[in-house]
Structure 1
């Protein structure tokens, strides 16, 4: 009898889909002769979020302890988590439950010492890449500021701010949504002006 496999799927935003991950991992399980017994999903949840904010990952780790499957399949190491410590912690939990892991994109199997070492290095490099991106973005923002460019949302025009204040002063019970509709502005604009 083949191994019982669990699939974990995650995308960071609601605009993305887990279907490509599902197709790749289902095909992998078929080719290896593994029986997919459970699928866990965190759609629209960043990998930087902790386990408490990722119900799919939390349930996968709980079911691993209950020995509901023998191997957990991930599309990539970064699907498991964004920080090295989070990835290693989850890997350790799976290992302690005697559950192997397979990472499709990296083609790494944690059931071997070599695979485990490679996975830990991949997690380190994923973190390094994120920090390099963050540094480049911050450098770009600093350069834009130095060049005198205005960053962020454009300021609300003075006459619009005055119209919002006047509408509220004339009718203190008038809600922000109604004021926004009357003046053709966003509710967040009304909220920000009234908070001044």
Structure 2
């Protein structure tokens, strides 16, 4: 049996923000979502979708086969491309139609919607690779210019570690006394 109900999921990141505009936009787009089927929450976009309390409750206890889930933007469904795709896969496997109003294809569970998600995924991977390449190019250029990379050495650390060593303290006792990590003490132990 399918229910055919329509739910809306709206998310904001901070308490200063409100989901009112998202709800209004969804209703203006022609989705008649009753107030008891609007799920709103305030949670950072960096949290996986299924770890968001209200979204998790929606997916696990409210949505049923044949229902529609409408969001204003695709990023409401996950923290990154992989999370969005996993969320949509989970929903479509349950027989739920997923609709994102910011995309030209309304139904993400359709063949066209799946194609669009795959294209977005490919573009996201391409951009991640380009960022990685540009970062490496910048590091190589800085090295070629003779710039020292990494964190500058803490002033006096070597001297303080050497003093403790001369006084007969162990590396772990030195780390505790100076408030340093054992790896830092080891790095400065034989300088």
Answer whether TM exceeds 0.5 for this pair. Answer: yes
Native 8 Å contact 2:9 2:70 kept in 1: yes
Map 1:116-127 to 2 at 5 A.
Answer: 116-127=114-125
Spell out, residue by residue over 1:31-88, the C-alpha distance to the aligned partner (whole angstroms, 9 max, x if none). Answer: 23324532356526377xxx7xx6128x73674354436304263359625455x543
Native 8 Å contact 1:6 1:39 kept in 2: yes
Matched residues in 1 for 2:18 and 2:140: separation? Answer: 37
**Aligned-residue offset at 1:116:** 3.4
Gaps of 5+ in 1: 12-16, 180-186
Seen in structure 2, the aligned counterparts of structure 1 residues 103 and 139 have a Cα distance that, compared at 3 Å, is farther
1:43 aligns with 2:44: yes
Q: For the pair shown, which has the larger CA radius of gyration, 1 or 2?
A: 2
1:27 aligns with 2:30: no
- Which residue matches 1:4? 7
Spell out, residue by residue over 1:107-133, the C-alpha distance to the aligned partner (whole angstroms, 9 max, x if none). Answer: 542254433322331222122212211
Matched residues in 1 for 2:32 and 2:43: separation? Answer: 25
1:146 aligns with 2:149: no
- Which residue matches 1:89? 86
Native 8 Å contact 2:11 2:40 kept in 1: yes
Seen in structure 2, the aligned counterparts of structure 1 residues 108 and 27 have a Cα distance that, compared at 3 Å, is farther
- Which residue matches 2:185? 194
- Which residue matches 2:68? 70
Seen in structure 2, the aligned counterparts of structure 1 residues 128 and 195 have a Cα distance that, compared at 3 Å, is same
**Aligned-residue offset at 1:105:** 4.0
Aligned-pair Cα RMSD in Å: 4.0
Native 8 Å contact 1:21 1:75 kept in 2: no
Seen in structure 2, the aligned counterparts of structure 1 residues 22 and 147 have a Cα distance that, compared at 3 Å, is farther
Native 8 Å contact 1:42 1:56 kept in 2: yes
Native 8 Å contact 1:18 1:43 kept in 2: no
> Secondary structure, in 3 states, of the residue corresponding to 1:34?
coil
**Aligned-residue offset at 1:23:** 5.4
Seen in structure 2, the aligned counterparts of structure 1 residues 167 and 39 have a Cα distance that, compared at 3 Å, is farther
Map 1:178-193 to 2 at 5 A.
Answer: 179=178, 190-191=180-181, 192-193=183-184
- In the superposition, the TM-score normalised over structure 1's length comes to 0.62
